[in-house]
Amino acid sequence: MRVLSVASECFPLVKTGGLADVVGALPAALRAEGVAVRTLLPGYPGVLAKVPGATPVHEFDDLFGGHARVLAAQAAGLDLLLLEAPHLFDRPGGPYNDQWGRDWPDNPQRFAALCWTAAEIGRGALADWRPDAVHAHDWQAGLAPAYLHYGAQPRPGTVFTVHNLAFQGWAPASLLSGLRLPPRAFDIDGVEFFGGIGALKAGLRLSDRLTTVSPTYAREIATPAEGQGLDGLLRSRAGVLSGILNGIDEEDWNPAHDPHLAAVFDATRPEGREANRAALRDRIGLAARPDGLVVGVVTRLTGQKGMDLLLQALPALLSHGMDLALLGAGEPALEQGFLAASAAHPGRVAVRIGYDEALAHLIQGGCDALLVPSRFEPCGLTQLCALRYGALPVVARVGGLADTVIDANEAALAAGVATGLQFAPATAPALETALARLAALWADQASWKRSQANAMHAPVGWARSVKRYVALYKDVSAMSRTNGVP
């Protein structure tokens, strides 16, 4: 089976968040199930630099304002198709923002070009390869199902995965024809969303099958409280909506041979974590306190991630004798707040602003507990890494966090199945209560070690989810055959 995966980022070529990790890891898991995935990405300068010698396989004389080519390449175990469109992607800054953090004003056209290319490939633009299904990810790929829906038949089946409903790709209605959408598309049953064009809405409305990245998030976004204005649409499409848990790449995140750790370890010899805790303290600037519990945080510093709650609860964390090792970047006020906390508590609060892959691995391998106090979390990957590395996750009871961590309540501890701590609601007082529970669990080292062993044996890879994706692809490819696609 052939699947075209369409996304705006893919690890290790380009990454701003968990979307890239999923898009990068899923093809290998699918390959073992007989699914051949080609991943279509924008040809950002950094991506093209990592795949020299890519082969042109298709050209566009005019793709939203300029000449463009599709390049075929292989890198990092991925079969890639790269959209080389210098007028859209050859610029400084990030995938979505300029070097000053401002959204590119032509983002609607940039990602419409990616989607148009996906639709053309879906309908047979490549001479030697035609997908049975197109799998589009998040708003940047949301117009791909629309172009296939409104374009010439036959077409492949479509699957759309929403990784984060909060980012919707809205554009003014005046761009309808400029985005190559027919007038009939501007309808409540098409791409229209609050008087404009909703790229995410288009994917949710016009794809054959929908998925989210955890079962709980699939339920949450169908409610007015969490639906971001799309809950009615999602309820109407409940019959084709599935919540499928993400996984992590168990080779990239494997403490038994992680080159970023001071000492490798696995579930049979977790005592190797002691050397990593010492190395983490030394590298990030925490005082040498061998018996002190280290709380790790690896995240975007945003309100969604509950980082303001952590700042409020920081006195409670310190009062329990815990230290904080934080790696992240995001909202300036939160960055400044954590830097100020680090200056006020040297040796107890260590903060690194930015992203450092090696340090992220060392935090997972060296902290005792990993804190994820998100207000909402579609799936979350950092808590899965923590489980794999034996750092007990302390998580808000939302989305995929609720689906992947077994709370160390009295019953779970008695049954010997706990893997971390959950708390609700996502408020500072509830977080403070969770930190008190964490301190109590740390004091009971027998229960702590049993929970740690459970965590390291918890399923965190793709094995439990990949078969559900395969079933979806088979389902939509059967539909496309009905429509005449070979």
CA distance 162 to 399: 13
Q: What is the CA radius of gyration of the chain?
A: 23
> pLDDT in tens for each of the 486 residues of the chain?
999 999 999 999 999 988 999 999 999 999 999 999 999 999 999 999 999 989 999 999 999 999 999 999 999 999 999 999 999 999 999 999 998 889 999 999 999 999 999 999 999 999 999 999 999 999 999 999 999 999 988 999 999 999 999 999 999 999 999 999 999 999 999 999 999 999 999 999 999 999 999 999 999 999 999 999 999 999 999 999 999 999 999 999 999 999 999 999 999 888 889 999 999 999 999 999 988 999 999 999 999 999 999 999 999 999 999 999 999 999 999 999 999 999 999 999 999 999 899 999 999 999 999 999 999 999 999 999 999 999 999 999 999 999 999 999 999 999 999 999 999 999 999 999 999 999 999 999 999 999 999 999 999 999 989 999 999 999 999 876 555 333
Contact 205, 233 (CB under 8 A): yes
In a domain, 263, yes or no: no
Residues 194 and 314 in one domain: no
Residues 381 and 409 in one domain: yes
Residues 144 and 226 in one domain: yes
Contact 59, 283 (CB under 8 A): no
Residues 10 and 124 in one domain: yes
In a domain, 220, yes or no: yes
In a domain, 141, yes or no: yes
| Count of domains forming the chain | 2
Instruction: Please name the amino acid found at residue 333.
Output: A
Q: Is 15 annotated as a binding residue?
A: yes
pLDDT score at 486:
32
Residues 228 and 359 in one domain: no
Residues 85 and 178 in one domain: yes
Per-residue pLDDT reduced to its tens digit, 420-439: 999 999 999 999 999 999 99
In a domain, 258, yes or no: no
- Asked if the peptide bond before residue 429 counts as cis, ω within 30 degrees of 0, the response is no
Residues 119 and 31 in one domain: yes
CA distance 461 to 464: 7
CA distance 326 to 296: 6
**Residue linked to tokens 């639709």:** 119
Contact 199, 170 (CB under 8 A): yes
Residues 195 and 142 in one domain: yes
Residues 331-336: contacts with CB under 8 Å, at least 24 apart: 331/301, 331/302, 331/303, 331/307, 334/301, 334/302, 334/307, 334/308, 335/301
Taken in order 56, 59, 61, 62, is the CA torsion positive or negative? negative
Angle at the Cα of 139 (from 158 to 229), degrees rounded to 5?
Answer: 105
Residues 337 and 225 in one domain: no
CA distance 260 to 327: 15
In a domain, 297, yes or no: yes
**Who contacts 147 (Cβ-Cβ below 8 Å, separation ≥6)?**
115, 116, 118, 119, 180, 181
pLDDT score at 206:
98
Instruction: Please name the amino acid found at residue 140.
Output: Q
Residues 216 and 84 in one domain: yes
Residues 338 and 440 in one domain: yes
Residues 417 and 318 in one domain: yes
In a domain, 404, yes or no: yes
In a domain, 195, yes or no: yes
CA 247 vs. chain centroid, Å, equals 10
Q: Which domain holds residue 340?
A: 270-457
Q: What is the CATH number of the domain that holds 318?
A: 3.40.50.2000
In a domain, 291, yes or no: yes
In 3-state terms, what secondary structure has residue 214? Answer: coil
